[in-house]
Structure 1
Amino acid sequence: MTANDNPDPLDGPAVTDARFAINMQRERERAGLSQADLVRNLREGNWQTVHQTTVSRIEKGERPVRLGEAMSIARALRVDLRHLLLEPDDAKVMASLDSAVKGLDGSYVAIVNRTDVWHSLRDSVENLLTTARASGHAEDEYPLPQAVSALRRTPSDAIAEGREQYEHEKQSEA
């Protein structure tokens, strides 16, 4: 007996279509799109013959989705097609994970960009401090001590300080 001899009635095309419909609607709503907005996005993505009734019927489970249509819908919703085929609870977790990863990536890029600014400002402070010293300003004259102190700090220090703040806030919430 092979796996194909007794197909699982809970995993046929109708079940897959129902999962797709539930996940499609959830992702559309999560993106803040109306059905008309999704149709507009689909038409911009070269599915010219799509109508709002088509989207509505797919979401209600009244019309199965074709593979090419499913791919276009996933692209228009900016989600991985595989997420639209998962069990709805699993799809919800994966969508949340995807969103969290995008947020984390965005934070990382922001840190990289701010680090670039930090290095530029650090070079400027270093050059101006050298100029001030060469002009005979005393080491205790404002703002030389602050400049020396600022030059000792690094982006790694800022990350460590941010981590400490995060841990403190996390403990306060518990």
Structure 2
Amino acid sequence: MAAPPDGIEEVFGRRMRRRREELGISTRTFAARMRSQGFEWHHTTVQRVESAKRPARLGEAASIAAILSTELERLLQPETDPAVIAALEREHDAYVQASTEARARLRDAEAERAEHEAHAHDAMQALLASRQRVQELTTDLERIDTHVRGIQARLASARRDLEGTAS
């Protein structure tokens, strides 16, 4: 009996992930379907099999193929069709371009956020300074008003005394 070819877990995992994504099945949903088949799978198990960090057992592989509505052999066949490889390369290039553009947008958004944070910091400092100034002026006004009332009381008393001596 011949040994399995090198990289068979990587091929299986890549094809499994591609087919799962084609069907729009999340790793959590896939794991739940495997559990319904009697396997103790979690979403991390799906990720580990797809990344070839954990090999799929024979029974698991058969259930995986059934869940993915494909033949087990298709999950084991490496990509050799030039058209498929070219399509994968185009898809890869498109995602690399999208990643580059997304990174540029992220850098712009981070710079904008930093600018807004700087303005917010400056505005907060100005607000705190304004609050402090209002508090100081309020305290000054209360002190002045207290003096005015005291002077008014003394003035009223002095006027009464003046009227009392004049009569």
Taking structure 1 as the reference length, the TM-score comes to: 0.43
Larger Rg: 2
More helix by share: 2
